[in-house]
Amino acid sequence: MQLGQSAVAAGQEYVQRNLGGFIPLSALKQQFNVSNHYVMHKLRILVFPWRHGPWTRKVRRSEQGTTEWQPPREDVNSPDLYIPIMAMVTYVLLAAFTAGLQSRFDPRILGVSTWKAILVLFLDFLFVKLGCYFLNIQSSSPVTDIVAYGGYKFVGVIMTLLAGLLGAGRTLYSIVFIYSFCSIALFMLRSLRSVVLPDIVNAPATVGTVTQSQRSRRVTFLFLVAMSQIIYMGVLARV
């Protein structure tokens, strides 16, 4: 845990130095405000999302009198960047390990796997942001929230790769992949609701009302985002 926190701290410093004008440091700090209990609880939710509830995020009142989201340490429904980053690093190492077991390891696999993971995250993020733009979705969720939600898919991909390492054949591999996809898809449906369909009562800084036709289009978009995870996860699982 301490090694992971050191790596995350270095990542925070790098991102703030290069992207500080786009991503406020306060938003980054909130994304890494996690505890051991939160991490374990979140992983259970990612693997068994149908056993979790409620999914509503908690808000708190700031010193300035405005409402804001609770940090991950205090709300398990809050997104974080700690798990996605650690999962992505684990995915890259596991992909290289898998290639090594198949006698086709090459140092370049680490770089290829890293860039593939980043590209998948970017495409997922771009799809969500463009959908929010064209559907005129005004949400209080920062950019880092969308990136965090997209990064949770690496947990499901890791489960799939581990199943492949067991050597039990394609059947077990396919079953674990389908299960992992369904889990992540359900998690995305439940979690991204606060972004695509912000609750006027609970979400801070939500502006305007939503008509029935707008809501219908947004629900369809939310479903498409969840279903698209099978494409991203399929690409990542091919190592």
pLDDT value at residue 206: 45
- Residues 117, 236 contacting (CB under 8 angstroms): yes
State mean pLDDT over 212-227: 93
- Residues 96, 113 contacting (CB under 8 angstroms): yes
Nearest-Å Rg of the Cα atoms of the chain is 18
Whole-model pTM: value is: 0.84
- Which tokens in the block code for residue 196? 């695509």
Q: What is the pLDDT of residues 52-70, one digit of tens each?
A: 989 988 888 767 667 788 8
User: At 137, which amino acid appears?
Assistant: I
- Which tokens in the block code for residue 152? 């949770």
State mean pLDDT over 196-203: 61
By CB atoms closer than 10 A (0-12, 13-18, 19+), residue 130 is exposed
Q: Around Cβ 6, how many Cβ atoms within 10 Å?
A: 10
